[in-house]
Amino acid sequence: MAGQGVGMGGGERRQTDGVSERARAGLMAMKQKKGEPELFPETQEIVALLSKDQTQDLVIIVVPSHDRNNKPLAEAAIGEWAQNAMKLMADLYRGATAYKAAQGIYKTDEGHYLWDHPLIIESFASEEAIHDKGNLEVLVGFGKRMGKALNQASIMLVFGAVMYYIEDYSGV
Q: What is the pLDDT along the chain (172 residues), one digit of tens a residue?
A: 444 444 444 444 444 555 667 766 666 666 566 665 578 888 888 887 777 765 789 999 999 999 999 999 999 999 999 999 999 999 999 999 999 989 999 999 999 999 999 999 999 999 999 999 999 999 999 999 999 999 999 999 999 999 999 999 999 9
Q: Which domains does the chain have, with CATH numbers?
A: 7-51 (no CATH), 56-166 (3.30.70.120)
Q: What is the DSSP letter of 74?
A: P
**DSSP string of 116-150, one letter each residue:** E-PEEEEEEEEHHHHH-HHHHHHHHHHHHHHHHHT
